[in-house]
Structure 1
Amino acid sequence: MSVEKNKFYEMTITDIGTNGEGVGKINDFVVFVPEAITGDQLEVKILKVKKNLAYGKIEKILSPSPRRSEVTCEVATKCGGCQLQHMSYEAQLEWKQSKVYNALTRIGGLKDIEVLPTLGMEAPAHYRNKAQYPIRKENGKVQIGFYMSRTHKVVDWSTCGIQDKRCEQIIEIVRNFLEVNNISIYDEETHKGLVRHLMIKTGFYTGEVMVCLVVNGNELPHSDKLLEALHAVEGLTSVLLNINKAKTNVILGHEVKVLEGRDYIIDTIGDLKFKISALSFFQVNPEQTKVLYDKALEYAELEGSETVWDAYCGIGTISLFLAQKAKKVYGVEIVAPAIENARENAALNDIHNAEFFVGKAEEVIPEQYANGLTADTIVVDPPRKGCDQALLETLVKMNPKKIVYVSCDPATLGRDLGYLDQQGYKVEKVQPVDMFPHTTHCETVVKLVK
């Protein structure tokens, strides 16, 4: 017996899916319900029915789960940013632990593994140091916010519980500037209009602030008025224009113009300083980045005599952490400006035993291995798609004693660990770290030993 579309049913949520949605059964039919949590007893309306499953929405909470948390964000149900606000923080951490375990056992086929409890934050609020806001115009009003879930419709907001509080002040200044000076706003459909996005980066420990407007042109009219208004922002260090004239969903273009100040801000992780430019990648939760990198360093077990490769090294954050304990570190990254930053960061921290290569990790490392460059320990921190197969094959050929895998996607982590396990690398420790509280994303550090 199935369920019918647009009908109402009572059900109990028994599990949570990989995207954070509640899962339960009605008449032995699996039903997915967003914003529901294990233990909720609900009345749901069925929105879509497929062959073996259905999707519903909460019509009424008949009996809330003890793990349910009060949602205080005014745009929580519209904005696609924080999918787990309705879940207590303790429940979020446990769910992320089980998400990693399920990916490693089901996708990776790993057996007899232990996933340690997720390392969470003491105060999981206002933790982000970077925000990218699309800017649109609706009914003559400038909208600055985040995209509504699964759409390109902007949810305008005044406060956000996970961004730096100064973002609210900057948004108001930018919105007022655009409206008062009648600056044209970009339209995705027609590719007309000037201002596309607002990006804000903040130094969590230094307090420095970068404001960057992304424009479909070369100049910003009346920019002197914007600069004058932005002087009210505490810590303002860098005001930039990013030129992006491409008809694309990619937010940033390659060209950056300085309107005022430096073209970068500085922040610290532990004892190390890092230059962060508009185009460079830097972890968005500095407090938990220190936790993540300390764990990677602990798993590398360096004694001072080792040669280490850091694949997908970005601006050299993990490389420089490792260089404090290793004999020599080689970093590789495909983004040329990031490698420029990595070299600058090594100089900034007076570190001389780190060398950086521009290129694809899966090409540079095999090439250098063929030239006789081996490694005792290899650290990989790939993008969401995981490691390239050619890189994994080279890792195995290089025969390091240890591999430390830092992952932002449990599914591709499971796949890659499954391969390495078959090649003789045993998973010794798996540590999830909550870099993104209130969202479904989870970072993991894994120690593998030959």
Structure 2
Amino acid sequence: MTKKTPPVKKNELVELIFEDITHEGAGVGKIGGYPLFVPYALPGEKAKVKVINVKKNFGFGKLVETVEESPARVDPPCNVYYKCGGCQLQHMSYEMQLEMKRNQVQNALKKIGHIVDIPIHPTIGMEDPWRYRNKVQIPVGSQNGELITGFYRKRSHDIIDDMERCIITDEVNDRMIDAVREIANRLGISAYDEEKNRGLLRHIMVRSGQETKQTMIVLITKKEKIPALEKLVDEIVKTYPEVKSVVQNINPERTNVILGKKSKVLWGDPYIYDEIGGIRFAISAKSFYQVNPVQTKKLYDKALEYAALTGKETVIDAYCGIGTISLFLAKNAKKVYGVEVVPEAISDAKENAKLNQIENAEFFVGQAEKVMPWWKAQGLRPDVIVVDPPRKGCDESFLQAMIDMKPKRIVYVSCNPSTLARDLKILDEGGYETKEVQPVDMFPQTTHIECVVWLELDFVDQK
């Protein structure tokens, strides 16, 4: 059998018409059936492309010149968009982004889960898909003896030194990053150098409450004792009244992980507060809290709708985090049991229940796949299970635990269409029919998509 040779060679200049787009936002064009994946190209466009990598069944190219533009192409408003990589879709109209994300969910469910002929609703987007992030963590570096802050260039740890702002994060976060950098620079606090493993200030994190306008600054440092740290904190809090908390996180390790194990409050409270849908949340430096509160409210409203609670139901919220979904559910349920493997998150969840005077929600530390069989053995029979797993999806043992408990309804909140499709297939084999899917755009200008899925136990399996 003769070996098939790709029809293009590395560094060759070719002209392509793009037919499709990948889930990572790259345009797909073909030469003699051989696909080339090209970042920043859009379906319907004709372009000149330089071939940069050739594999047996596909290749990669670089967009050189757009010959015929798609009407969906827009000028990215960010000055470092093509350097940064934090966003992938700023060159695409927002309408096309929403359509692309719905198609991503639909394709995953069809190809991986073999799920077809169910309603996949249009993606719920934002009226203003900018300045939505309530949290930012920026690396600190040094250039010509001055501190610089900025995201890393794509596929590197080189800080983009001409980054003026990040237009998907709250403006207060931008201002606080600038302020901390300028004050620290004036006080002679050194930046951490990861190659030499020396220096002090590694990252600056800012968290802000969208409703409360409260701000927390987290200084991630290599060492605990920092010269002039008291002066830095004093100047920040005197100049910026919105700052309610300044925290130091110490990370002495030679690692890419941003936060270390030890944190201490330098000034103010250990928490700031925010509200979503009338529920108040205490947010610490390490709390997991959704970065887009506007869309979180829409996501949780849809989860509540699919849960169809009447006030009589017992609900389990698996992977409950700091209790965000649990407390929404508790307002409409008889009882909610939350389970999460991270002890600090459960501690926050209990505090948030007290904060909102919610007494019908209990929280437990543990792996859901181990806790749920124990609950079943104790006689707990949930009417509804809500699950919001990480990107890797659910373990098979957890899916089996849900199937064994036989709730009438499952509400699955997913941040990864591929693992969602895989898990829905297993639940389908366990007697659960997927009824509806609602994509929600939590991260405009990026390729990420969340969705809420409603599943019902088949009538035969309820017997």
TM range (shorter): over 0.9
Q: Which residues of 2 match residues 24-423 of structure 1 at below 5 A?
A: 24-156=29-161, 157-231=163-237, 232-423=239-430
Secondary structure of 1:147 counterpart: coil
CA deviation after TM superposition for structure 1 residue 312, in Å? 0.4
Count of matched residue pairs: 450
Deviation of 1:25 after TM superposition, in Å, equals 1.0
SS of residue in 2 equivalent to 1:153: coil
d(CA) in 2 for partners of 1:435, 1:152? 26
For residues 72-106 of structure 1, the C-alpha deviation after alignment (integer angstroms, 9 at most, x for no partner) is 11000011111000010000000000000111111
Bigger shift: residues 372-381 or 131-140? 131-140
Stretch deviating more after TM superposition (259-268 or 221-230): 221-230
The secondary structure found in structure 2 opposite 1:146 is coil
Residue 140 of structure 1: CA displacement? 3.2
Pairwise CA distance, 1:190: 3.3
Distance 2:222 2:248 in 1: 10
Tell me, in whole angstroms, the C-alpha distance in 1 between the residues paired with 2:259 and 2:363: 24
Query: Deviation digits for residues 55-76 of structure 1, max 9, x if unmatched?
Result: 1111111111011111111000
Q: Using the alignment, how far apart are the partners of 1:149 and 1:371 within structure 2?
A: 51
- How much does 1:337 deviate? 1.2
1:342 partner letter? A
- Aligned: 1:6 with 2:11: yes
Q: Go from structure 1 to structure 2 and tell me whether the alpha carbon gap of 1:229 and 1:26 turns closer, same or farther (over 3 Å shift).
A: farther
CA contact (8 A) 2:135 2:173 kept: no
CA contact (8 A) 1:334 1:358 kept: yes
Deviation at 1:189, TM superposition (A): 2.8
In structure 1, distance between residues paired with 2:68 and 2:241: 46
Q: Which amino acid aligns with 2:109?
A: L
Note if contact 1:166-1:233 (Cα within 8 Å) is conserved in structure 2: no
Cross-structure match for 2:461: none
SS in structure 1 of the partner of residue 82 of structure 2: coil
Matches of 1:20 and 1:311, distance apart in 2: 31
* Structure 1 unpaired stretches of 5+: none
> 1-side partners of 2:143 and 2:316: how far apart?
50
Asked if the contact 2:74–2:92 (Cα under 8 Å) also holds between the matched residues in 1, the reply is yes
Of 451, 460, 463, which aligns to 1:444? 451
2 CA distance for matches of 1:67 and 1:176?
Answer: 40
Task: Name the SS of the counterpart of 2:151 in structure 1.
Answer: strand
- The answer to whether the 8 A contact 1:203-1:266 is kept is yes
RMSD between aligned alpha carbons?
1.3
> How many Å apart are 1:193 and its aligned residue?
2.0
> Does the Cα contact within 8 Å between 1:130 and 1:202 map onto a contact in 2?
yes
Mapped to 2, the partners of 1:163 and 1:48 lie a distance apart of 34
Bigger mean CA offset, 79-88 vs 109-118: 109-118
- Check whether the contact 1:309–1:329 (CA below 8 A) recurs between aligned residues: yes
Alpha-carbon distance in 2 for matches of 1:47, 1:218: 46
State the TM-score, normalizing by the size of structure 1: 0.97
Letter in structure 1 aligned against 2:182 = N
Deviations 1:2-41 (A, max 9, x none): 1111121111111110111111112332001101111121
CA contact (8 A) 1:208 1:266 kept: yes
Question: In the alignment, residue 175 of structure 2 is paired with which amino acid?
Answer: Q
3-state SS of paired residue (2:444): coil
Q: Equivalent residue of 1:13, what SS?
A: strand
1:433 aligns with 2:440: yes
**1:139 Cα deviation from its structure 2 partner:** 4.3
Quote the Cα distance in structure 1 between the aligned partners of 2:143 and 2:60.
Answer: 31
Distance 1:147 1:388 in 2: 33
Secondary structure of 1:155's aligned partner: coil
**Residue 192 of structure 1, CA deviation:** 2.1
Q: Which moved more, 1:147-156 or 1:22-31?
A: 147-156
CA contact (8 A) 1:20 1:34 kept: yes
CA distance in 1, matches of 2:53, 2:110: 30
Give, in whole Å, the separation in 1 of the partners of 2:381 and 2:141. Answer: 51
Matched-pair contact (CA < 8 Å) for 2:122–2:438: yes
Percent of aligned positions that are identical: 53
Letter in 1 for 2:96: A
What is the distance in 1 between the residues matched to 2:323 and 2:178?
A: 34
Aligned partner letter, 1:414: A
Deviation at 1:234, TM superposition (A): 4.7
Q: Distance in 2 between matches of 1:435 and 1:299?
A: 19
Counterpart of 2:410 in 1: which secondary structure? strand
Matching residue's letter, 1:371: Q
Shift of 1:225: 2.5
**Alpha-carbon separation, structure 2, partners of 1:234 and 1:23:** 50
2:25 and 2:144 map into 1 onto residues whose CA distance is 34
- Matched residue of 1:368: which SS? helix
- The alpha carbon displacement at 1:181 in A equals 2.4
CA contact (8 A) 1:83 1:439 kept: yes
Q: Distance in 2 between matches of 1:359 and 1:28?
A: 50
- 1:183 counterpart SS class: coil
TM-score (norm 2): 0.95
State the secondary structure of the residue aligned to 2:81.
coil
How big is the shift at 1:365?
Answer: 1.6
Deviates more, 1:304-313 or 1:148-157: 148-157
Runs of 4 or more consecutive aligned structure 1 residues displaced over 3 Å after TM superposition: 138-141
TM-aligned CA deviation for residue 133 of structure 1: 1.0
